[in-house]
Amino acid sequence: KETEFMIRSECSLRHSASLANKVFIQRDYTDGTVCKFQTKFPSELESRIERTLFEDTVKTLNNYYAEAEKIGGQSYLEGCLACLTIYLIFLCIETRYEKVLKKISRYIQEQNEKVYAPRGLLITDPIERGMRVIEISVYEDRGSSGSSSGSSTTSSSGR
Amino acid sequence: MSAVMITRKVTRKWEKLPGKNTFCCDGRVMMGRQKGVFYLTLFLIVGTCSLFFAFECPYLAVHLSPAIPVFAVLLFVFVMAMLLRTSFSDPGVLPRALPEEANFIEMEIEAANGNVMAGQRPPPRIKNVQINNQIVKLKYCYTCKIFRPPRASHCSICDNCVDRFDHHCPWVGNCVGKRNYRYFYLFTLSLSLLTIYIFAFNIVHVVLRSVDSGFVNTIKETPGTVLEVLVCFFTLWSVVGLTGFHTYLISLNQTTNEDIKGSWSGKNRVQNPYSHKSIIKNCCEVLCSPTYPSVLDRRGVMLEDLSSPTPSDASAASTHQSSNPVSQTTKSSAPLIPNEHTPDEAKPGIGSGTQKSTSSPKEEKPPSPTSPNAVAPAVIKESSH
């Protein structure tokens, strides 16, 4: 499961690194209440990861969420069928949103493995934070300059 | 590692959720706090329908058509299903911010506000976002420590922020929000139909019987009819009116909360930015949009940090709360800079910044116990300028 992977990777990072900081990517509400995250590159990550990689990740996530929340033929069908069966059908089948959420968690796991963990970063699935933020944990190698409380000095926020 | 195997009950996340909800069936069922009126609703619906099936249906099935009781049963089942679905599901509760996120937001606010002169009131915590060419103000919630997403509101009865908050319905015993609004609407709609149906067939039944045996005898034979007519009569006005009101709201893509506050009433040329300007599109969005999953993960298992059991961990695991987790976790866990706008309930949070490591989700297991403490004095230091 994705969360087991997170714990394992966190443990392995912990052995060689310590949690320095957490960056929170906020929601972008300019298109309304659909789930969409800001693609603005936070300054805390400037030295850790390339801007394009980060933006790709966020844009892909936004596309996934847009796919999940799309109102169209399939959602009407699902809604009508569910209503006719007084919503008992959801005991048997998965909703489209749940299917896309699984895709998202696989994608995040893959991104963590390939892109973020090698750079000492870890992305938390937004669903674990109430779909409010994408939390990126920043790890630093133990024994390097002790800037563990770096969060207090970075007063310029990533807004 | 300890050689003693301690068998302890698995702690699920619902037991540690802040807020004043009631949980049943090991977290599968989630309701608001006051359930008395909900039981009354159940009693009225079940009671009236039982009277209908007992007194009217035998006569009508024989003299008119057997389809009448069959349709009544279907309608009754639908009404009950919608009621239970509305009452027992998560309305779209937004979980509270964890300490790191709360701190991050606090620092953003501090940075945005700049220096506040001593004695001067700090500005209210509001974010402006532009949605469809309309400026919408997002307010900060002091209880949940988040900026509320658009259309979300904090329910004081359940003590939660709810997404697309409509209202807290005592009849249903729960908040009505994004996830259960369509069930609520279908409930009121089907209940209106059921009430009209029972009322109509009561009249038909009384008329038919009176033709045979006279009015007074009819009442003597089926005393339940009087009761049903009374209940239906009073229910009709309220439920049908409510259904009409919500149909109007749906066609405009508004919530009850917005309607009461007059958010989009048109003064100052403020328009509803969420409306698609077409009744059909609005209805489709509200009633046929995809079913949103709950972000609460009520039945997730809380993993205990077995390698370093702290006293608080052990006590949290062994003392599992029963259905009402109104625990001491409701109060703030992040150090909050008090200002004029901090409600009194949040102020005591300054002292209690160190607890709550137990309720953080799995991957949050305090990797460096120093990090919240390292940030806390820094934040408080910044405030004393």
φ, ψ dihedrals at A155, nearest 5° = -80, -25
Task: Count Cβ neighbours within 10 Å for each residue of B99-125 and write b for 16 or more, e otherwise.
Answer: bbbbbbbbbbbbeeeeeeeeeeebeeb
Predicted pLDDT of residue A60 = 95
What residues form DSSP beta bridges with B135?
A: B130
Cα B275 to Cα A30, B131, B151: the distances in Å are 14, 11, 13
Same domain as B105, residue B42: no
Asked whether residue A153 is domain-assigned, the answer is no
Predicted pLDDT of residue A76 = 87
Q: Token pair for residue B374?
A: 């390292």
Contacts of A112 in chain B (CB under 8 A): none
Asked whether residue B45 is domain-assigned, the answer is yes
Residues A97, B291: C-beta atoms closer than 8 Å: yes
φ, ψ dihedrals at B160, nearest 5° = -140, 155
Chain A's closest residue to B135, CA to CA, is A30
Cα B2 to Cα B5, B306, B307, B316, B318: the distances in Å are 8, 10, 9, 19, 17
Asked whether residue A107 is domain-assigned, the answer is yes
Asked whether residue B222 is domain-assigned, the answer is yes
Residues A68, B290: C-beta atoms closer than 8 Å: yes
Range of the domain at B73: 13-95+166-288
Burial status of residue B7 (CB atoms within 10 A of its CB: 0-12, 13-18, 19 or more):
exposed
Same domain as B108, residue B250: no
Asked whether residue B364 is domain-assigned, the answer is no
Please state at what angle helix B36-51 crosses helix B181-213, rounded to 10 degrees.
Answer: 30
Residue given tokens 């990797």 in the structure block = B367
Residues B101, A133: C-beta atoms closer than 8 Å: yes
φ, ψ dihedrals at A138, nearest 5° = -110, 125
Same domain as B70, residue B30: yes
Once rounded to an integer, what is the mean pLDDT over residues A50-57? 93
A75: confidence class by pLDDT, cuts 50, 70, 90: confident
In chain B, the number of structural domains is: 2
Asked whether residue B314 is domain-assigned, the answer is no
Same domain as B106, residue B82: no
Same domain as B182, residue B72: yes
Same domain as B137, residue B189: no
Asked whether residue A52 is domain-assigned, the answer is yes
User: d(Cα B240, Cα B325) in Å, to the nearest integer?
Assistant: 36
In chain A, the number of structural domains is: 1
Same domain as B104, residue B74: no
The catalytically annotated residue of B169, B175, B232, B288 is: B169
Contacts of B94 in chain A (CB under 8 A): 130, 132
- Residues of chain B below pLDDT 70: 1-8, 115-118, 304-385
Which of the listed residues B140, B162, B184 is the one where a domain comes to its end? B162
Asked whether residue B176 is domain-assigned, the answer is yes
Predicted pLDDT of residue B318 = 39
Contacts of B103 in chain A (CB under 8 A): 151
Q: Are B349 and B331 in contact (CB under 8 A)?
A: yes
Predicted pLDDT of residue B317 = 38
ipTM over 0.90: no
Predicted pLDDT of residue B125 = 84
Which of the listed residues B288, B322, B350 is the one where a domain comes to its end? B288
Asked whether residue B188 is domain-assigned, the answer is yes
Min CA distance, A107 vs chain B (Å)? 18
Residues B367, A97: C-beta atoms closer than 8 Å: no
Asked whether residue B346 is domain-assigned, the answer is no
Residues A148, B288: C-beta atoms closer than 8 Å: no
Min CA distance, B131 vs chain A (Å)? 5
Predicted pLDDT of residue B240 = 95
Same domain as B91, residue B66: yes
Predicted pLDDT of residue B49 = 94
Asked whether residue A56 is domain-assigned, the answer is yes
Same domain as B191, residue B72: yes
Min CA distance, A16 vs chain B (Å)? 12
Same domain as B260, residue B176: yes
User: d(Cα B207, Cα B230) in Å, to the nearest integer?
Assistant: 17
Q: Verify whether residue B288 is a known catalytic residue.
A: no
Range of the domain at A38: 11-139
User: Among partner residues B101, B111, B293, which is closest to A129 by beta-carbon distance?
Assistant: B101
Asked whether residue B315 is domain-assigned, the answer is no
* Interval B163-216: pLDDT, tens: 999 999 999 999 999 999 999 999 999 999 999 999 999 999 999 988 888 888
Candidate from A51-55, A100-104, B304-308 with smallest mean pLDDT: B304-308
Residues A97, B290: C-beta atoms closer than 8 Å: yes
Min CA distance, A56 vs chain B (Å)? 23
Residue B97 — left, alpha, or beta (φ > 0 → left; ψ -120 to 50 → alpha)? beta
Predicted pLDDT of residue B48 = 94
Same domain as B250, residue B227: yes
Query: 47-106 in A: which are within 8 Å (CB) of B?
Result: 68-71, 75-76, 78-80, 82-83, 86-88, 90, 95-98, 101
Same domain as B83, residue B28: yes
Of the residues B363, B370, B382, the best mutation for testing chain A's interface (the one with the most A CB atoms within 10 Å of its CB) is: B363
What residues form DSSP beta bridges with B23?
A: B30
Higher pLDDT, A12 or B229: B229
Predicted pLDDT of residue A48 = 87
